[in-house]
Structure formats: C-alpha cells, structure tokens
Structure 1
C-alpha cells in the first residue's frame, strides 16, 4: 500500500480532568500505540468550586503537544445543584466509599460530559471517547458503574450518523491498580491534582485525597504533592 493509499487513522477524544486517573489514562493509551496527534483532550469547567485541575490538565497537554480544548459550561451549574463540589455545601471528609461522600455527586455530570465529548468526536471524525471511570467510584457514583458505561456506549454508537464508542479501560480497576499502572509507566504525579479543595496544598482529608494517599501507600510510593496534614 502506498503512502497515499494509507487509511487515515481517526482521532480519539479523552475527557481529561487533570486528576491522577485521567493523567494515567492519557499515558496508558499513548503506551498502547496512540500517537499524541491522534488524541484530542477535552477538559470541562462545569462550575466546580475550583479549577486547579484544569490548569494541571492544560500544562500536561501543552508539554506533550496534545490538542486540548477547555470548555466553560459553568452556566449550566444551576441545573446541577445539590453537590458539595458545586454548591455552598461543605465538602465531606473521610473515605471515598463512605455514605457521606454522596454529597459529592454532581447530578448527571458524566452523561452531560460524555454527550458533549461525543459531539466533539463527531466534529473531529473521531470514533472513540475515553474517560477514566474506575471501580473505586462504583459505590458512590452511579455514572461510573459498568452498567451506565454499557448503556452510554450503546446510545452513543447510534446517536449520530457516525458511530462513537465509549471506552473505559480502568472500569474494573481500583485506584491502587491505576497507580500501579502509572508507576510502571514511570509517571510523575506532581503533574496532577486530586483534592476537592483548591487551596495551595492538598487537604489530605477529603475523599479524593484519602483514596489517593491510600493508593500511594499500597504501592509503597510517596505522593509528590504537598499536603496540609
């Protein structure tokens, strides 16, 4: 086959928050053979209390030379109320799987973000959308569970003239296993932000911090981020 006959390889879209899961996923799919010019990263400002993750995402994509779009959809925040991540509600402390973590659920967030990512995929003629749902999210977040992903995948394949699939390589992996993958890839996690609080240093007490620190401990690693406690 001549060069002119070589089929064009379609882009894939990555929903990239700037946290450790999407950071690991980005490098995982690069390691699987997708080139940097075949990925388009998409980051959302949906009205969360801080956008520190967004800045981390921006820096990583810029350093890697990956096409990156940051979309401000904070105007829809009034439709997704009742979450401690977006409203004037205290962010809970403790383990991710504790019942009080339900206050961090943002109504319909992943369905909305995936729908917009699929629209972006169609516009770029991409045939796949990746996002970093994992098993540690299953207890609290319905929109990270396998049954949700399965249904969204089915819908997104038929929602447009162009079929787009939803791909979640970490859906059955824990945060501990995701970090193990990242350690094996030699990743620098100082390039990520996980804490629900956007202060200078990570709080070390919110569910996201507790789960992150647990993953580092179980992997025999030291988190490069600085913590308040």
Structure 2
C-alpha cells in the first residue's frame, strides 16, 4: 500500500485533527480543500495557514458553480443559520445536498492521480443524526465503490467515524495540537458566534475535556 494519502481538509477542528493524525501516522499527506460556495472562507484560510506551517502540499479547489444545482442549504443559500444543539431538527437546514459524495469522488480522483492509496475523511458519530453522508452506512458503501471505480483501489478512511467530537478533541489534545488554528462557526464574523450548532458542539467538546477553547467568542459566557 502506498504511503501517500489525500486528506479532505476543511480547516475545521475535526479535519485539522484528521490531518495531524495522518502526519503522526507517518503518511505522506496531500491536503485538499474545497470552496463550494459556503458562506465564508475563514476555514479555508486556516487550512492554508496550517498546511504552509507543516510544509504539506495543499490544493484549494473552487467548485462553487455547483451551487446552481445544490439549493436549499443554510450554509450556501440566503437562509438564516439555525441556532441550538447539533442534533436539533432545525439543523437539517445545514445539509448541502450530496456534498460529501461529491467531495469524496473528487478526492479519490486526486488520490489516483498522485498515487495515494487512501482518502482521509473526518466524519464522526456526532454528525450521524443530521447528516446522512456522514453515517457508517454511507462511508462503507462509498468505500466499496472506490475500490472498483478506478484501476487503482482507493480506501475511504475515517479514523473517527464511530467516536464523538469530544473523543476527536481528546486525541488532538494528546497530540499537543493548537486549536486556535481552526474555525468551526457557521458564521464568518470576526469572532465565533457561540450559538450555532457547530459552535455548540465544539464548546461542549472542550468542556468535556476540561479545556478552554482558544478561539474568541462573541459572548464571554462561551469563551
């Protein structure tokens, strides 16, 4: 098996941990980020900065034109960002239709082109309730397809598929990672809002780890 891997790297705390896990595992990492027309690019800026500091090859691919086809998500359309816990029913508005199948397909194509045997992907159990394309059923089926879609088999590897965001952060903190180099908030303002589902879940993970999130929040109660 090739030591080369492609890491789908959004710049958020989960993919940041996955990226560093791949490095710690001794992999030769090729980082891949996507501009799919999301509300802001703060995550992408974090991703570029981290890859530069780690001397990791990094591509940011503009696929924002697909928004002409993928309507109805509060992450890409002019729809209010929902607030509250990640598992709340209203969080379904953040689903971007078929996003992860599209991103994984592109990442697998890139993996074949650079001779990588795996695509690292940061799905975790906290996403299962809201996002169908983060569930084990999807990841396993996608992995099956990617074994036969090309002459070269590529494995979809999700190291945190069956654990929580709290567990991901625990692993990252044990690696000594600095999470000020990440962005999670669905809003792209100067400070994280602390109210959207992504912020809520992130803050919960830090509380569970008895750690303080290094990001600045709009409400002092969240810092």
Alpha-carbon distance, 1:26 to partner: 1.0
Q: How does 1:1-229 map to 2 (within 5 A)?
A: 9-34=2-27, 38-229=28-219
RMSD of aligned Cα (Å): 0.9
Partner secondary structure for residue 158 of structure 1: coil
Give the secondary structure class of the aligned counterpart of 1:121: helix
Are 1:128 and 1:165, in contact at CA under 8 Å, matched by a contact in 2? yes
**Between Structure 1 and Structure 2, whose CA radius of gyration is higher?**
1
Give unmatched runs, 5+ long, in structure 2.
Answer: none
Aligned residue pair count: 219
Secondary structure of 2:30 counterpart = strand
Measured in 1, the distance between the counterparts of 2:44 and 2:22 equals 20
Secondary structure of 1:202's match? coil
Which stretches of structure 1, 4 residues or more, deviate above 3 A after TM superposition? none
Cα drift, residue 131 of structure 1: 0.6
Contact persistence 1:10–1:125 (CA under 8 A): no
The Cα of 1:30 is off from its aligned counterpart by 1.6
Deviations 1:112-156 (A, max 9, x none): 000000010111111110110000000000000000000000001
